[in-house]
Chain A
Amino acid sequence: MTSADLDLVKSNTDALMQRKQLVAFAFPAVILVYFIYVFFAFDIAGLAKRANWDNAVTLASDSWSYKVHVTRSNRTGEIEYAVEGERKGRYPDGQRPDWVSGQDITTIDLGSDTIVRLLSDNRTEVDVPSFGLIEAQAEGRQITTNLGGQIPDWISASDRRVAITTPEGRITITGSKTEVFNYFPGWELFWFTFESPYHGYGLGQILFGDRIDPARGNIQGAVYDWWNNAMWRHNEVAWAIGETILMAFLGTFGAAIIALPLSFMAAKRFAPIMLVRAATRRLFDFVRGVDALIWTVVLARAFGPGPLTGSLAILITDTGTFGKIFSEALENVDEKQIEGVNSTGAKPLQRYRFGVIPQLVPILLAQILYFLESNTRSATIIGAITGGGIGLMLTQAIQTQKDWEEVAYYIILVVVMVMFMDSVSGWLRGRLIGRKD
């Protein structure tokens, strides 16, 4: 190597290094500039103002705890006990939680010596150990309290409404009612509502104990009551999950069944006519490009909300995707196997059956099963738009903005469902193709 050559190589290397250096600095710089642009385009600075952190706190605490409402009507003096204040969670007549006592004066023990007393004449006493005794009385629409000018920030008081928030519970007093909320961890009434005779019994007692409901066997009755639990609606949830999986199943396999014959028409080797090939390919591009969102919107107009609409939306979109993948796989089929089958004197159909299909099946199955899992997720989202399955229940629960424990329950179910479908499709792939990846 002469020195001139060496110089050339050296200068080339220098140029290359310089270009690489430039790229190494330019690439992050471009991204940084883009992020700065997005920072303003998305108004991230204003986000902190718009965000509602109280909502976040409610969400975080409500999703793993429940509250029992003790409500006194300040008109009739009647006291009601209900889980989450819902009609379905109301304590039966004559029953009340064990932290409530007293006849004329109802004493509510919120724990840590925080005590609320509901007295006659719509008077309410709240005893907070670190603060003292708060007295309030409702007369008509007017509330009078013993609170002076110095009110701590966990109390908000006006002459119409008094709200006291302590770590043990919350008390609100208005002219019409006095409400006490007592918080507990867990998901109350998850197994049985108060209407069920099995409420309050443990698993051991139900399985091995005496017959609780004379009319029914223990296990049968307990399963029935749990399944028809009005608060948590287990049977509806199960149906909804079934619907979502059904949408994914019908959509994925329906798309595969339709796309397979069409993909032959889009592959160069099997469709010699250019026009047919181009037309099929454009059809695939079109249905893929329109996207599941628009298909859902269009189909919901024709079929109404429900799982069928969701399945068809997935089916149509995925026909395009599968068509593209399948026809690419068809193009890459190895000619040698077909020739081999041909040399035994096979007819064209037999050539396809024994020369082409065995090469295709592993690729197709792997793709279909992969899409089955990812479509379970799509079906959840499409369900939220078109009204079907667990996606709809989840959206509704979030939009009511109070049943966060239900939201948490549904989210867990959705994650478990997707992971379940993931492992089912992985298992099937392993069984059918013979290797696991």
Chain B
Amino acid sequence: MTDAASPHPAGVIEIQSHYMAQVQRRRLYSGLTLLIFVILMVAGFNIADARNAGGFWDGVLNIGDYPAEVISEAWEKRADLPGLIARFFPALIETINIAAVSTIIGASAGLILSLLSTRGLARWPVLIPLFRRTMDIMRAVPEIVIALVLIFVLGGGPVPAMIAIAIHSAGALGKMFSEVAENADLKSVEGLSSTGATWLQKMWLSVLPQVAPNYLSYTLLRFEINIRASAILGFVGAGGLGYELRNAMAWGPGRFDEAAAIFILLFGTIVLFDQISSRYRNRLTEGQNG
């Protein structure tokens, strides 16, 4: 502005050309990344299509067949539907129980693991890496692996699924909990330390009240996820609604009304608990901000 006589001094032009070159280079890079991504997606789709039993383009046209069959048969026998829903209700309760118990156990274990593996709070700071790796492994093992192995030892039923989901939940929640605990205010911990409080007292009286809303919110989210997981594990023999679904499916046509009743129960449960948990989670996080 002071140098109105020469609007384009050499420095500015240089900067501009540098800037344009940089922009072009960046565009080239993002273009290349996008290209690689598109190639990966297309190639991946083709591989998946080739290795699938039925092709994508044949299947897409038949996608509605099975739901249509199930719905039409269920509609024909709609008078039985309430009775079937009542019959499968205990299985639903079992699925929810598996999810609830494993969430409680997983959250308790995750709470302990998280406090033990958070810098500044840990009881034995030397062992932090050990507890972290433990949580990593607990998180990495898919539930189905533990469930199938335990079914072999303990026999079918809800307990293998419960243990499997609890182990995974402990790992997953432990990590999230420890991220929250890292941000906890240490002043109150120091205050308690000065009174000679033990580690347990410090955690109970100063850390937990700070992190409780977030912990509860994560636990509710996990409960939502665990309901789905417990339904899926039922499908491989761990009891509950998934197990009934597999049996109904195995019968094929003629029992589609049973499959429909189970679909309805499962869908309704998942949506219901989604709504409840998201409402409570909103309240918890809002309460914290307010």
Q: Is the CB of A298 within 8 A of B157?
A: no
Question: Which one of A41, A294, A311, A411 lies within 8 Å of B145 (CB-CB)?
Answer: A411
Nearest Cβ in chain A — how far from B289, in angstroms?
13
> Is A407 an interface position by the 8 A CB rule?
yes
> Is A308 an interface position by the 8 A CB rule?
yes
Nearest Cβ in chain A — how far from B200, in angstroms?
15
> For the complex, what is the distance from the CA of A291 to the CA of B225, rounded to whole Å?
10
Kindly state the interface size class of chain A when it binds its partner.
35 or more
Nearest Cβ in chain A — how far from B102, in angstroms?
10
Q: Is the CB of A419 within 8 A of B140?
A: yes
> For the complex, what is the distance from the CA of A55 to the CA of B149, rounded to whole Å?
10
Contact mask B52-93 → A, CB, 8 Å, 1/0?
111110011011011100000000000000000000000001
Residues on B with beta carbons closer than 8 Å to the beta carbon of A307: 47-48, 51-52
Q: Is the CB of A38 within 8 A of B149?
A: no
Residues on B with beta carbons closer than 8 Å to the beta carbon of A387: 53
Contact mask B134-156 → A, CB, 8 Å, 1/0?
00110111111100110011110
Q: Is the CB of B228 within 8 A of A293?
A: yes
Kindly state the interface size class of chain B when it binds its partner.
35 or more
Q: Is the CB of B271 within 8 A of A302?
A: no
> For the complex, what is the distance from the CA of A290 to the CA of B271, rounded to whole Å?
9
Nearest Cβ in chain B — how far from A174, in angstroms?
26
Q: Is the CB of B158 within 8 A of A42?
A: yes
> Is A366 an interface position by the 8 A CB rule?
no
Among B56, B67, B152, B271, chain A packs the most CB atoms within 10 A around the CB of B152
14 A–B contacts from the bound complex (CB under 8 Å): A51-B154, A55-B152, A291-B266, A298-B63, A306-B48, A307-B51, A308-B45, A308-B48, A384-B144, A388-B51, A394-B145, A398-B149, A411-B145, A418-B142
Nearest Cβ in chain B — how far from A129, in angstroms?
33
> For the complex, what is the distance from the CA of A34 to the CA of B142, rounded to whole Å?
27
> Is A349 an interface position by the 8 A CB rule?
no
> For the complex, what is the distance from the CA of A325 to the CA of B275, rounded to whole Å?
15
Question: Which one of B56, B94, B159, B231 lies within 8 Å of A44 (CB-CB)?
Answer: B159
Nearest Cβ in chain A — how far from B34, in angstroms?
12
> For the complex, what is the distance from the CA of A285 to the CA of B94, rounded to whole Å?
24
Given contacts A291-B270, A307-B48, A419-B140, whether A59 and B94 have CB atoms under 8 Å apart is: no
A residues within 8 Å of B by Cβ? 31, 34-35, 38, 41-44, 47, 50-53, 55-56, 59, 243, 246-247, 249-250, 253-254, 285, 288-294, 297-299, 301-309, 311, 377, 380-381, 384-385, 387-388, 391, 394-395, 398, 401, 407, 411, 414-415, 418-419, 422, 437
> For the complex, what is the distance from the CA of A254 to the CA of B45, rounded to whole Å?
10
> Is B245 an interface position by the 8 A CB rule?
yes
Q: Is the CB of B274 within 8 A of A303?
A: no
Among B59, B139, B144, B228, chain A packs the most CB atoms within 10 A around the CB of B144
B residues within 8 Å of A by Cβ? 37, 40-41, 44-45, 47-49, 51-56, 59-60, 62-63, 65-67, 93-94, 97, 100-101, 104, 136-137, 139-145, 148-149, 152-155, 157-159, 162, 179, 228, 231-232, 235-236, 242, 245, 249, 263, 266-267, 270-271, 274
> For the complex, what is the distance from the CA of A222 to the CA of B232, rounded to whole Å?
42
Q: Is the CB of B143 within 8 A of A381?
A: yes
> For the complex, what is the distance from the CA of A35 to the CA of B105, rounded to whole Å?
10
Question: Which one of B48, B53, B141, B266 lies within 8 Å of A247 (CB-CB)?
Answer: B48
Question: Which one of B40, B93, B144, B158 lies within 8 Å of A380 (CB-CB)?
Answer: B144
Question: Which one of B60, B93, B231 lies within 8 Å of A293 (CB-CB)?
Answer: B231
Question: Which one of B67, B158, B242 lies within 8 Å of A298 (CB-CB)?
Answer: B67
Nearest Cβ in chain A — how far from B175, in angstroms?
10
Nearest Cβ in chain B — how far from A392, in angstroms?
11
In the complex formed, the residue of A with least CB distance to B156 is A50
Q: Is the CB of B152 within 8 A of A398?
A: yes
Given contacts A285-B271, A289-B271, A292-B228, whether A414 and B56 have CB atoms under 8 Å apart is: no
Residues on B with beta carbons closer than 8 Å to the beta carbon of A381: 142-144, 232
Among A41, A308, A377, A401, chain B packs the most CB atoms within 10 A around the CB of A308
Q: Is the CB of B267 within 8 A of A294?
A: yes
